Amino acid sequence: MNGANIPRLQVSVPAEGADNYTAALERAGGNPAACYCPAPDLSCAGLVLCGGGDIACEFFGQEDRGSNPPDLARDRAELALFQAFYGAGKPILGICRGMQIINVALGGTLIQDLPRPQRDFHTWDGADKVHPIACLEGSLLHRLYGPLCSVNSAHHQGLERLGEGLRTIAWSESGVPEAVDLPGCPLLGLQFHPERMSFALRRPDTLNGEGILTWFVELCRNI
């Protein structure tokens, strides 16, 4: 592929790095520029907000109700990244924590610690959990995977009140929002991890995350 057709993507990662994200985005046709707490770089064609720890509850107006200790520097950096790319009308993909950042940035709130029985289906216990989701008819996920599919999960927080303009386009078996979009904007949030269900990490018991990642890279290439 001609280098001029490979979109450069700003990728915000946790302090320990995120090789799975960059490897999958490269295989999907992108050129990821990954960094911890980067300043916005609007020369990039799109933004990817990766997974990680909890968001400080002060950013969505709550007291601590079961959150883990936050990384305030990362919270502030990613909220600024979102506002910069959102304001510029550039594509944004949020994965797990990244979807939660999108929701908080648009005025939404989070369930700080999923209760049982949801927790048993979603929270990391040494490995990803696998469970079914239902996809909204006509949404991107419905077009890619149909009305029902299986995904991975590794989170103990979830979306509560949706941020302004967001709509839920996929739900878990117990109603946990699994994906959101913002009609009219090039934005997608996923509670699951497509980078761990694609290319070298493709697994037979879930959807193929390559579809989502290649869709996002093509969006960045063509917008």
- 28 token code pair: 């999907």
In contact, 104 and 54? CB cutoff 8 Å: no
- What confidence score (pLDDT) does residue 1 get? 46
Catalytic amino acids? 96, 193, 195
Distance CA 94, CA 78 (A): 11
- How many residues in total does the chain contain? 223
In contact, 8 and 45? CB cutoff 8 Å: yes
Considering only CA atoms, which of 114, 59, 53, 58 is closest in space to residue 83? 59
Domain extents for the chain? 3-222
- 1 token code pair: 């592929």
Summarised one tens digit per residue, pLDDT across range 163-191 is 999 999 999 988 889 999 999 999 999 99
Question: Half-sphere exposure (CA, 13 Å, Cβ side) for 80?
Answer: 11
CATH topology of domain 3-222: Rossmann fold (3.40.50)
Give one DSSP letter per residue of 193-207, joined into a string: -GGGSSGGG--TTS-
DSSP symbol at 12: E
Summarised one tens digit per residue, pLDDT across range 2-59 is 456 899 999 999 998 789 999 999 999 999 999 999 999 999 999 999 999 999 999 9
Phi-psi category of 145—alpha, beta or left, where left has phi over 0 and alpha has psi -120 to 50?
Answer: alpha
Which helix (H) or strand (E) segment is 133 a member of?
Answer: strand 129-135
Which residues does residue 49 pair with via DSSP β-bridges, in sequence order? 12, 94
pTM greater than the 0.85 cutoff: yes
- What confidence score (pLDDT) does residue 223 get? 83
3-state secondary structure of 77: helix
